[in-house]
Structure 1
Amino acid sequence: MRGPLLWVGTNPGGGGTETHMITLLRALAGQGVECHALVHPQGKIAAALAASPVQLHPGIFHNSADPRGIAALDRALRQLRPQLLVGSFSKEYWPLALLSRLHRIPLLLFRHMDLRLRPSTRWLLSHWPLRLVAISRYLQQRLRAQGIPAARVEYLPNPVRLADFVPPSGAREARRAELGIGDEVFLLGYVGAWHRGKGIFTLADAIDAAHEQDSRIHGLWIGGGAHEAEFRQYLAGKPWQHLLGWTDAVTPWYGAMDALALPSVEPDTFGRVLVEAQAAGLPVLGAEIGGIPEAFAPGKSGLLLPPGEVGAWREAILALAQDLAMRTRLAEEGPVFVQRFAAQRVAEEFLRSVEAPRSIA
């Protein structure tokens, strides 16, 4: 890529869309691309990229018609004349589209959320001269089902810096000591939001049921969210259920686990935590819903289970806890499988894609 790239993402938060933007920008900069980002100056993206080669420009879109956001973007485009303009957040789609046309700069939009499209957004994604990229095959099909022409919806794997999730030496012993458990405990972890759609109550019930049959089985919960108070009360008085809350240092805790579960009962676009866990050398359990099955190799690096069925999850937990050979086999396959999500590999695929001639109807 000869000229600079400008990526616009002014959300202040630190969710999956922000993580995707941060990860791919770092990887592209590592490939020698001149990368710029228009970001919220006090946001998580700006903080994460502050020490990177990515050059930051302040800007905030409170909504798609925010005049200050539009002015900041226009200034950046006039100053940089980027070869490509990229966006990730739907509230920024229309200003990006209009200003990309005004400045005659190609536009690429990523789509992350499986939400019903507004008519104006559906028209934009269906008719405007832009490239639309879904971060999972599941979402690619969902966008097509909502009326976006199939040929317009591309797919690029969700990038992960795999080396970031290799636990440091001694993490297992140190973190287990914090929990007050020994090496004999089978520790099943969950990392993510604590709300019902994520299946946390199903998984908690399955761990409880498995613990009744094998007292070595414990659960570890990292996260928080909408149903945190209810969930903490639900698990109160159960010393085999360890609730940590949110932490930015997840990798050492992966080292303490024996497996990780993502038990969603509502569709997730993808299952990023499963990729992280496999990079850490863990077998995984994933619900057969949404884009979760894409994040691991069912039967090879983990087990695919029906969402919401406590009995099936209990049996899978017991099987993992009691079959070391199976755990070892699944754990060995995971780091191999997740290479397809390696950030540098995805960055190379991104560059090949944007540099290839393409006619956009």
Structure 2
Amino acid sequence: MRIVIVTDTYVPEVNGVVTAIATHTRLLAERGHEILIIAPRYGEHVDEPQRGVRIERYPAFSFVTNKATRVALPAIASVTRKIKAFDPDLVHVHTPLSLGVVGLLAAKALRLPIVQTYHTYIPDFMQYLEISRLLGIDTLQERVVNSLVFERVLESGLWQRIVKSRALIETGLDDFAEAWLGITADVNQSTPELTARLAWRYTRLLYNRSDLVLTPSVTLKRELMRHGVTAPVDHLSNGIDLALVRVKESYARSGRLVHAGRLGYEKNVDVVVKAFARALAHGVDATLDVVGDGPARDSLERLASRLGIEGRVRFLGFVARDELVQRYWEYDAFVTASTIETQGIVLLEAMASGLPVIGVRALAIPEIVRTGRSGIVVAPGDVQSLARAIERLESDDALRERMGRAARGDVQRHEIGLVVSELEELYRQTAAAAGAGLPVEA
């Protein structure tokens, strides 16, 4: 098959979405599929040649508060031309931001089958990012969603005429948005906060235009359906490469705990630090390694200092994924307080190495971590319960071993080869159904 992948985040940026796309793409190409990836440009980064994979980069800028993330605003007609020239069987959109929207519009214009993956829980994430204020497009964003001009464009023949318009050939997305989406007589001029209501409306606008929506967990599939996504929705794990993971052999207590992931405020790593401090105060003799980097790192380091535990918490910064999966076995448990995990590849990789997980009862974590079996799950934001979970696991070698071995067994179904085989079949079904004018059966 010939597949276009559109994403607002890609290498060299490091996150779960990038990991999933890069791994899926590599295996799909090895199986003979041809891939075109449309992604932002990252400074001087140069892509390594990969057989069967072509990458088109668009100029992008970064957030003031997050230099790693790039925002591309390409000419819509340019993206449409590149996709058309590639002549794909389908388009797979992985992100709901600027490039993702452009990719969706281009695929609609070309009448191509569309798969979208819902990686990020938009209601929580949009409120955290406050994208409108970061980019200064809050009024425009509210106008787009409230006026439903975007929806009208997609459902009428207008978009076909827009794509063909010579006036748009050299026009960027910002010009398009201002000209076609921004100003209408009936638009609400107020600029409300990005509430869950607005986020779900935006979600429905985008994802209901798909032939198939994929989510990395059953929990997220149910959330989308409950909030009015009527396109076919199926769940498919992002998958992990079990062959890369070093498996824990001894469950003798090391007194070492780990948290890994991007240090964003939405990840609630401060709750982990506070719970760890409380566990220390209750007599636990341990250290906590915090792996990763991000905008919350400075405040977390200050928090550790303020709590008087800076000697017990190490901020290791970025550690390459291939190295990290070889080091999880050294720890007693993985600890997270994130409430926005749609799956959590780092959790799966830690479990694959044989670590029990301490997490919170939010989104996909209880689906991945079965409390009492492969870890302990507590209420979100509950510092005391998180501390007690740390104390319990650190005091019971047999419990850690039982949970760790169960965790290792539970993640076998996420093996990357199995996942990509299922993705291939979903691609074939979607392309065939769209060609026959039939809905995809999810």
TM-score bracket relative to the smaller structure: 0.7 to 0.9
Cα distance change, pair 5–106 in 1 and its aligned pair in 2 (3 A): same
- Look up the equivalent residue of 2:224 and give its one-letter code: L
Q: C-alpha distance in 1, partners of 2:383/2:337?
A: 10
- Are the aligned partners of 2:93 and 2:104 in contact in 1 as well (CA < 8 Å)? no
- Are the aligned partners of 2:246 and 2:327 in contact in 1 as well (CA < 8 Å)? no
Question: Which structure 1 residue ranges, 5 or more long, are not aligned?
Answer: 173-182
Question: 2:285 maps to what in 1?
Answer: 216
The answer to whether 1:26 aligns with 2:21 is no
The answer to whether 1:360 aligns with 2:432 is no
Q: Which moved more, 1:3-12 or 1:254-263?
A: 3-12
Please report how far the alpha carbon of residue 278 of structure 1 lies from its aligned counterpart in structure 2 after TM superposition.
0.8
RMSD in angstroms over aligned alpha carbons? Answer: 3.0
Question: 1:39 maps to what in 2?
Answer: 39
Question: 1:340 maps to what in 2?
Answer: 413
Question: 1:161 maps to what in 2?
Answer: 241
- Are the aligned partners of 1:38 and 1:73 in contact in 2 as well (CA < 8 Å)? no
CA deviations 1:77-105 (Å, max 9, x no partner) are 31x31222211122234433343244343
Question: 1:85 maps to what in 2?
Answer: 91
- Are the aligned partners of 1:7 and 1:87 in contact in 2 as well (CA < 8 Å)? yes
- Are the aligned partners of 1:85 and 1:105 in contact in 2 as well (CA < 8 Å)? yes
Cα distance change, pair 215–301 in 1 and its aligned pair in 2 (3 A): closer
- Are the aligned partners of 2:359 and 2:378 in contact in 1 as well (CA < 8 Å)? yes
- Are the aligned partners of 2:248 and 2:330 in contact in 1 as well (CA < 8 Å)? no
| Residue pairs, 1:56-135, within 5 angstroms | 56-60=54-58, 66-67=74-75, 70-78=77-85, 80-90=86-96, 91-116=98-123, 117=199, 119=201, 122-126=204-208, 128=209, 130-135=211-216
Cα distance change, pair 165–51 in 1 and its aligned pair in 2 (3 A): farther
Q: C-alpha distance in 2, partners of 1:184/1:155?
A: 37
SS at match of 2:55: strand
- Look up the equivalent residue of 2:239 and give its one-letter code: P
Question: 2:351 maps to what in 1?
Answer: 278
Question: Which structure 2 residue ranges, 5 or more long, are not aligned?
Answer: 61-70, 124-198
TM-score with structure 1 setting the length:
0.82
SS at match of 1:303: strand
Cα distance change, pair 98–315 in 1 and its aligned pair in 2 (3 A): closer
- Look up the equivalent residue of 1:341 and give its one-letter code: H
Number of residue pairs aligned between Structure 1 and Structure 2: 340
- Are the aligned partners of 1:112 and 1:134 in contact in 2 as well (CA < 8 Å)? yes
- Look up the equivalent residue of 1:360 and give its one-letter code: P
- Are the aligned partners of 1:136 and 1:269 in contact in 2 as well (CA < 8 Å)? yes
Q: C-alpha distance in 2, partners of 1:270/1:23?
A: 16
Please report how far the alpha carbon of residue 226 of structure 1 lies from its aligned counterpart in structure 2 after TM superposition.
2.5
Q: C-alpha distance in 2, partners of 1:31/1:260?
A: 34
Q: C-alpha distance in 1, partners of 2:388/2:200?
A: 42
Please report how far the alpha carbon of residue 65 of structure 1 lies from its aligned counterpart in structure 2 after TM superposition.
6.5
Cα distance change, pair 45–360 in 1 and its aligned pair in 2 (3 A): farther
CA deviations 1:271-313 (Å, max 9, x no partner) are 2221010111211111111221222333222111222222222
Cα distance change, pair 134–299 in 1 and its aligned pair in 2 (3 A): same
The answer to whether 1:326 aligns with 2:406 is no
Cα distance change, pair 66–195 in 1 and its aligned pair in 2 (3 A): closer
Cα distance change, pair 14–194 in 1 and its aligned pair in 2 (3 A): closer
Please report how far the alpha carbon of residue 120 of structure 1 lies from its aligned counterpart in structure 2 after TM superposition.
6.2
Q: C-alpha distance in 1, partners of 2:210/2:302?
A: 51
Cα distance change, pair 46–326 in 1 and its aligned pair in 2 (3 A): farther
- Are the aligned partners of 2:253 and 2:332 in contact in 1 as well (CA < 8 Å)? no
Q: Which moved more, 1:191-200 or 1:217-226?
A: 191-200
SS at match of 2:58: coil
